[in-house]
Amino acid sequence: MEELIKKLGEQLDASLANIRGKEELSDFWQEFFGKKGKIADLMKNLGKVSKEERPAVGKIINEFKESAEAKYRELEKKLDAAELERRNREETIDITLPAKKQPKGSLHPITITKNEMINVFAGMGFEIFEGPEIEDDDHNFTRLNVAKNHPARDMQDTFYVAEDIILRTHTSPGQIRVMDAKKPPIKVLVPGRVFRSDSDATHSPMFHQMEGLVVDKHITLCDLQGMLDKFVQNIFGENVKTRLRPSYFPFTEPSVEVDVSCFECGGKGCGLCKHTGWIEVLGGGIVHRNVLANCGIDPEEYSGLAFGIGIERIAMLKYGINNISLLFENDLRFLRQFRD
Ligand code: PHE
């Protein structure tokens, strides 16, 4: 029996010495420690040993088993450590490699300009409201004090969707929707797309406007000019100022055309301002009392100011863009210039 154990011990050492990887190690386990393995066989032989000798032989077998197991664990540890070392070596990250660049888009100049405009007015406490692009005649014209056969309808060439349903020609119907929904004090911006049958270097059939509406007690033209001064200074530079010229819109009385002093020449006169020192930037005025009344707001108690700014116009002035169609052709050579 001892002879058998000695031989098995030699076999075991030889097998262990040949093991190179985890797979071989697990084969080795099966061979010696498995249910039908060599150590199990050894146990079976215990039956043949005489009763007296059995405890002593059993002890020897157990000791052999324990020492064999210890050898197995030790080798297993070594193999694990070697495997870890190999992986660490192979999987290191070369931090000196240049990073892969993710191609990234950028905001459209109209979006950049719109966001900038919203930021300025948000700083003055304006909220944002958005109305529908497909409007009814009522909101776009009639309740804005432009009756059915009012000649002022000719000021805006309208796209019709159906009788009395149109593509909004301006963001001013947003005024009506806001005043229907809430009562003064009101301070909102209505940005959005508008549509007119008009197309040349400075006009596009689809363009963007930013409507402003403030309704409260004692609102005057001074409030309008004060806010617009801050607006143009933020967009065009600290030293510019505004000038109000009398104008006409059916929904404001008085109505004004707002000019900004030329930020290119400082007012001396240049090509940009057509040698006048001033550039027209937007329209506005004091909300017509009929419009307030149309929305259930008492014009004796409240007054309002409104303005409508063309976003393309501001973007074109700001970036020196001379043709509005550049903004809608989506030519990457143009758009890439607005990357930040
Ligand atoms: N809605 C006018 C336009 O599109 C602009 C405007 C807005 C004028 C608000 C006065 C008040 O031309």
pLDDT of the chain, 340 residues: tens digit per residue:
778 778 878 888 888 888 888 888 888 888 888 888 888 887 787 778 888 888 888 888 888 888 888 888 888 898 888 888 888 888 888 888 888 888 888 999 999 999 999 999 999 999 999 999 999 999 999 999 998 888 777 767 899 999 999 999 999 999 999 999 999 999 999 999 999 998 888 899 999 999 999 999 999 999 999 999 999 999 999 999 999 999 999 999 999 999 999 988 888 999 888 999 999 999 999 999 999 999 999 999 999 999 999 999 999 999 999 999 999 999 999 999 998 6
- Distance, in Å, from the CA atom of 112 to the CA atom of 335, rounded to the nearest integer, reads 12
Task: Please tell me the distance between residue 255's alpha carbon and the centre of ligand 1 in angstroms.
Answer: 9
Residues of 155-174 as b/e, b for ≥16 C-beta within 10 angstroms? ebebeeeeeeebbbbbbbbb
- Looking at ligand 1, which residue's alpha carbon is closest to its atom 2? 308
Closest CA to 318 of 117, 130, 56: 117
* pLDDT recorded at residue 259: 93
Of 148, 129, 133, 131, which is closest to residue 250 (Cα–Cα)?
148
DSSP codes of every residue in 63-116: HHHHHHHHHHHHHHHHHHHHHHHHHHHHT---TTSPPPPPP-----HHHHHHHH
DSSP state of 321: -
Q: Look up residue 333 and give its two tokens.
A: 């050579």
- Tokens in use for 265? 């020449």
Give Cβ neighbours of residue 62 (< 8 Å, ≥ 6 apart): none
**254 CA → ligand 1 middle, Å:** 12
Question: pTM here?
Answer: 0.72
Look at residue 108 in the predicted model and tell me its pLDDT: 96
pLDDT at 72: 83
- What local confidence, expressed as pLDDT, does residue 244 receive? 97
Q: Give SS3 for 156.
A: coil
Ligand 1 atom 5: residue of nearest CA: 308
Q: What is the pLDDT of residue 10?
A: 84
User: Which residues on adjacent β-strands are paired with residue 280?
Assistant: 259
Q: d(Cα 101, Cα 105) in Å, to the nearest integer?
A: 12
Which residues are near ligand 1 (CB < 6 Å)?
170, 172, 211, 249, 252, 283-285, 306-308
Amino acid, res. 76? E
Helix/strand/coil for 292: helix
Distance 240 CA to ligand 1 centre (A): 22
Q: How far is the CA of 283 from the centre of ligand 1 (A)?
A: 5
